[in-house]
Amino acid sequence: GAGVSQSPRYKVAKRGQDVALRCDPISGHVSLFWYQQALGQGPEFLTYFQNEAQLDKSGLPSDRFFAERPEGSVSTLKIQRTQQEDSAVYLCASNLRAFETQYFGPGTRLLVL
Amino acid sequence: AQSVTQLDSQVPVFEEAPVELRCNYSSSVSVYLFWYVQYPNQGLQLLLKYLSGSTLVKGINGFEAEFNKSQTSFHLRKPSVHISDTAEYFCAVSASAGNKLTFGGGTRVLVKP
């Protein structure tokens, strides 16, 4: 079956621009996670949804970062007024329910110039 | 809060030789443990996980890991590597199996012919 998909795969933004990153989880998966992976580092947790409810946003680095999942399926991570330190790969993962494996998408590589 | 330390950032190894990737964690609560592999330009793929039960866990592609609670370690091993095992490997922990993952910094494995 189809896995987790993310779009765009690559995004170049000028500093100060707003960007929107999309994640399509595996159909029927209840939980959805966003992670940020800086170059040469492990992924770091950003935020977590269960259906449309955002249950944990403790990892969002600033109020410029905003995520939503209005219908409990597709999710969008929005970054306002991008800064160079936002350059990273943004990974999305989903799982069917608690105690299930998280399945990761290929990521969106964001470069802020 | 949990943290994960991967002691080796890079591990060069010859084809058909054994490899061990070290992972230590700290946590004030019981954790679940995971190893993920990331091939170039691809998303993270689960190699194996420890939730409970036998401390020796077998995963895909001939990998195995052993959970050692007293040493707070979860080292990954493969008795004979292939060129195709060249990738980055991440150890991760979670306070619940369906919850957010805390990753280590990764170990890059380079298999030489």
Q: What is the pLDDT of residue A97?
A: 79
Residue B72, Ramachandran bin (φ over 0: left; ψ between -120 and 50: alpha; else beta): left
CB pair distance less than 8 Å for B105 and A41: yes
Instruction: Report the alpha-carbon distance of residue A55 to residue A16 in Å, rounded.
Output: 28
Comparing alpha-carbon positions, the chain B residue that sits nearest to A97 is B98
DSSP state of A30: -
| Tens-binned pLDDT, residue by residue, of chain A (113 aa) | 589 999 999 999 999 999 999 999 999 999 999 999 999 899 999 999 999 999 999 999 999 999 999 999 999 999 999 999 999 999 999 998 766 789 999 999 999 99
Looking at per-residue pLDDT, the higher value among B29 and B37 belongs to: B37
> Residue holding tokens 């195995």?
B64
Mean pLDDT, to the nearest integer, of B85-100?
88
Looking at per-residue pLDDT, the higher value among B42 and B108 belongs to: B108
Instruction: Report the alpha-carbon distance of residue B63 to residue A52 in Å, rounded.
Output: 36
CB pair distance less than 8 Å for A43 and B101: yes
Comparing alpha-carbon positions, the chain A residue that sits nearest to B51 is A99
Q: What is the pLDDT of residue A1?
A: 55
Burial B89-109, CB ≥16 within 10 A → b, else e: bbbbbbbebbbbbbbbbbbbb
Q: What is the pLDDT of residue B53?
A: 85
Percent of chain B whose predicted confidence (pLDDT) is above 90:
78
> Residue holding tokens 């070290």?
B22
Say yes or no: B99 contacts chain A, CB-CB below 8 A: yes
DSSP state of B83: G
For all residues of chain B together, what is the average pLDDT? 93
Say yes or no: B30 contacts chain A, CB-CB below 8 A: no
Q: What is the pLDDT of residue A99?
A: 66
CB pair distance less than 8 Å for A98 and B43: no
Instruction: Report the alpha-carbon distance of residue A53 to residue A41 in Å, rounded.
Output: 29
Percent of chain B whose predicted confidence (pLDDT) is above 70:
97
Instruction: Report the alpha-carbon distance of residue B74 to residue A2 in Å, rounded.
Output: 31
Comparing alpha-carbon positions, the chain B residue that sits nearest to A101 is B98
Interface of A with B in 36-95 (CB under 8 A): 40-45, 48, 56, 59, 91, 93, 95
Q: What is the pLDDT of residue A101?
A: 85
pLDDT tier at B65 (50, 70, 90 boundaries)? very high
Q: What is the pLDDT of residue B46?
A: 94
Q: What are phi and psi of A8, to 5 degrees?
A: -70, 165
